[in-house]
Amino acid sequence: NRTNNCLWENIEVPYGIWDFSVENISAYPREVREGDYVNITVVVSNLGYRSGDVDVGFFTNYTDFAAGNQERFKRIGTIRSIHLEPGEKRNVSFEWRANIHGGMHSIIAVADPDNKYDEDDDIREVGDSILFIGDTGNNVKRCIIHVIPANISILNLTIEPDAPEIGDRVNIIAHVKNENVSESADSLLKFYMEREISERWRSCSWESTQLSLSLLQPEDSLMRIHFASIDIRSGNVIQRRGEVYCYTEDSIGNCKPLHFYVREGNQMIKVQKISWNAPGCICYDKNYRRIDCTSESVVNKRWEDIWTDFAYGNKLIVIAKGDLSSSGDGETELLIDKYQLLLGNKTLSLRPGESKSYNATWNVSLPPGGYPIIVEGYPTLNGVKKREVCLSGNYTIIVNIGDKIYKEEIFLGGTDLAVTNVSVNGVVWEEEAPPLEVMDGDIVEINATISNFGGLNASNFTVRFCDVLKDVGKEKIIEEKNVSLLESGRLMNFSILWNASLRTKIGSKYYDSYNHTIRVEIVTREELEEDIANNEVSVPIYVKKSRNFAIVNLSFEIDNKTYYSESGKVYFELGGNVTINATLNITNHANRGGVVNVSFYVDEVEEGNEIGSKIVEFEANITNGTKYAEITWKVEGIAGDHDIIVMVDPNDRMVEFDESDNELIQKIHVYASDLLIERLEVCPENPMKGEDVSINITVANRGNKNESNVTLGVYELRGRR
């Protein structure tokens, strides 16, 4: 019988060799005043199979009243290295001063809070936080105490100076009072500065790997930033790499990562970065319908109402990365709506009925780089590659005692330079008005009024007048006015003259444009400005044709005799001097005269064929006026039939009503001699050495001009045939 050769029994093998547990927690007294001491006692045991030195951490919940009443947990103390043998229990106590706002608070004890041991029933963690609500495991135990709030009221808040400006060091004074006339009161007073910005930025995979936002301060400060929402979109279900993370850097270069607070269930959880797998999100499909986050159809995740930790430094950096693996649809979008500085914590201790004043300071100097917020990387939603947020603007000073919040709105003043009035030839331009009309060639008077509405004097800025050629997308600076000082509340007037032109030279090229914009802009330090939107005004102007030049007649004076183009071909003699006179018909409706070039050519309008030119001046406001251009030409280098071409504005510098009448052609004939050797006789043809030779030469002039004093050269060419 072999069936009884083997015997077995099921046994339970423990998962972990350590298992620490908090079996009980109590606090005494259960009700205390703010600032009183509480004795916390816990029973901690070792349910595992090996001894160990376990830590017990103590935590409590609190409300961050400056962060929209978000509930947080903080560590209030730790008892280190409690030695426990397997199965052993020990009572340990911890004394804590309840420097916390009034209300009901959980006192939580956690065995092995830093997770040094691999336990059978370990603590539950989400992100970088221990779960204190729900299924917490046997490492966590809690009890409740009630903290009686200190009856301290905030009487008022004083800001000095009351209208601060950029560069000031603002003194914030809170006047508080202990309303309890029979007992003293202890509490904590916190000063915050908050600024709303409400800017949306995004980082897309098809343009850039990341977006960088820098929150800058003039000196090291405690600061944090708030995201109304963070969206990560990804079409790649295998790899989703979009993420957002933050860190601070102090004035000596030390860096520290920041945590985000996200809501997971009923507890705020700390995470080091927002990524696809981070907790606390809402999930959507491709049609932006909310769905369960376990669905494979999730393509968009959103986190809302997210604060970072406070961290110390003069620079807070936010990095947002798009999902490069998503083939163009991996976008990370941020809506940052505010940031805060913690200006100071003051511990209060007030006698019954006592009033006191406490203060904190806020340095509102310009930070390095000039702007409190600089964004670089993928463009913002309005397409700008780099964006700065100016220091000047609205701020909120927040003072917090216990559960009491006091807020004071202030405006931080800077310069506010504005172009408040622009007139063209005395006509003030109004918004939405049709374009003003001027003539080509007009001298246009442009007047601009520059005001400083800010609380800060403006210095060393420039008022620039630009001519924008809208038809071709070019622009040219007309004139610049440098200003050394414009005091707060004052204004200055500037006047320039602009030569309106349909054909404008920019660099070495000419551009035609009927539609112009005169832009008056203030070039200043934008970081000092309260409002940069009013730093420029653009006035549309339509430039109309105003000129016409026509060559209507030519005359030639030869030997005191005048010939006109109507008489047909004109005859010249080679070497003679001819006076050529061109008659111009000029129309100019502009309010300014000018000059035009008239050039004379032989046969072709080319630089090498030019025989002379004349600059002709003309007056303003003329119609069919007559002007003359005259040159003297010595006829040489040509003979026979040719053309004299006279052209006005040969380089086409001006736009005219009619460009076809700029040229007049006159046919000419140049008389010239035509000398030739008709006969050469040598007699005898084969002379002997020493014999005289007779050379007979016949010279003829077959041309139509006599020649005199002609030299005839006769040469002996030896050795040639």
What residue segments make up the domains of the chain, in order of their start?
20-148, 190-412, 417-544, 547-671
Q: Could you give the 3-state DSSP secondary structure of residue 438?
A: strand
Name every residue whose Cβ is closer than 8 Å to that of residue 128 and which is 6 or more positions away in sequence.
Answer: 259, 269, 270, 271, 272
> CA–CA separation, 504 vs 327, rounded Å?
46
Phi and psi of 654, rounded to 5°? -125, 145
Fold classification of 20-148 (topology level): Immunoglobulin-like (2.60.40)
> CA–CA separation, 107 vs 78, rounded Å?
13
CB-hemisphere CA count at 13 Å for 73? 25
Distance from the Cα of residue 100 to its chain's centroid:
44
Place of tokens 């809302």: 304
Q: Could you give the 3-state DSSP secondary structure of residue 648?
A: strand
Q: How confident is the model at residue 326, as a pLDDT?
A: 46
> CA–CA separation, 520 vs 512, rounded Å?
22
Phi-psi region of 79 (alpha: psi -120 to 50; beta: other; left: phi over 0): beta
Name every residue whose Cβ is closer than 8 Å to that of residue 341 and which is 6 or more positions away in sequence.
Answer: 192, 193, 217, 221, 222, 223, 362
Tokens encoding 573: 């003699």
Tell me if domain 20-148 and domain 547-671 are identical in fold.
no
Which pairing describes strands 152-160 and 169-178: parallel, antiparallel, or unpaired?
antiparallel
Q: Could you give the 3-state DSSP secondary structure of residue 66?
A: helix
> CA–CA separation, 577 vs 514, rounded Å?
45
Burial call 481-516: b when 16+ CB within 10 Å, e when fewer: eebeebeeeeeeebebebebbbebeeeeeebebbeb
pTM > 0.85: no
Residue count of the chain, please give it.
721
352 touches 186 (CB < 8 A): no
Q: What's the count of helices (H) and strands (E) in the chain, helices before strands?
A: 0, 51
| CB neighbours of residue 127 within 10 Å | 18
Name every residue whose Cβ is closer than 8 Å to that of residue 635 and which is 6 or more positions away in sequence.
Answer: 572, 573, 574, 575, 576, 577, 578, 670
At the fourth CATH level, the homologous superfamily of domain 547-671 is: Coagulation Factor XIII, subunit A, domain 1 (2.70.50.30)
Tokens encoding 281: 């999100």
Burial of 630 (0-12, 13-18, 19+ CB in 10 A): middle
304 touches 274 (CB < 8 A): no
Q: How confident is the model at residue 123, as a pLDDT?
A: 73
Place of tokens 């070792």: 46
Name every residue whose Cβ is closer than 8 Å to that of residue 601 and which is 6 or more positions away in sequence.
Answer: 609, 610, 611, 644, 645, 646, 647
Q: Could you give the 3-state DSSP secondary structure of residue 718?
A: coil
Q: Please, what's the largest Cα pairwise distance for the chain?
A: 165
DSSP letter string over 385-433? Answer: SEEEE-S-EEEEEEEEETTEEEEEEEEEB-B-EEEEEEEETTEEP-TTP
352 touches 181 (CB < 8 A): yes
List of long-range contacts for 388-391, beta carbons under 8 Å, 24+ apart: 388/526, 388/527, 389/197, 389/199, 390/414, 390/526, 390/527, 390/528, 390/529, 390/530, 390/532, 391/166, 391/364, 391/366, 391/367, 391/527, 391/528
Q: What is the mean pLDDT of each run of 10 residues along the chain (721 residues)?
A: 79 71 94 92 92 93 91 92 92 92 92 86 77 82 92 92 91 94 92 87 57 86 93 72 89 93 89 90 90 89 93 91 60 88 93 94 87 70 63 91 91 92 93 91 96 93 96 95 95 96 94 96 90 92 95 89 78 88 94 94 93 94 93 90 94 92 92 86 88 89 81 81 52
Q: How confident is the model at residue 35, as a pLDDT?
A: 87
> CA–CA separation, 318 vs 310, rounded Å?
14
Options 3.40.50.20, 3.40.50.300, 3.40.50.1820, 2.60.40.10; CATH of 417-544 = 2.60.40.10
Phi-psi region of 652 (alpha: psi -120 to 50; beta: other; left: phi over 0): left
Q: Could you give the 3-state DSSP secondary structure of residue 345?
A: strand
Residue 545 is given by DSSP the state P
Inter-CA distances, 523 with 417, 465, 467, Å: 10, 11, 16
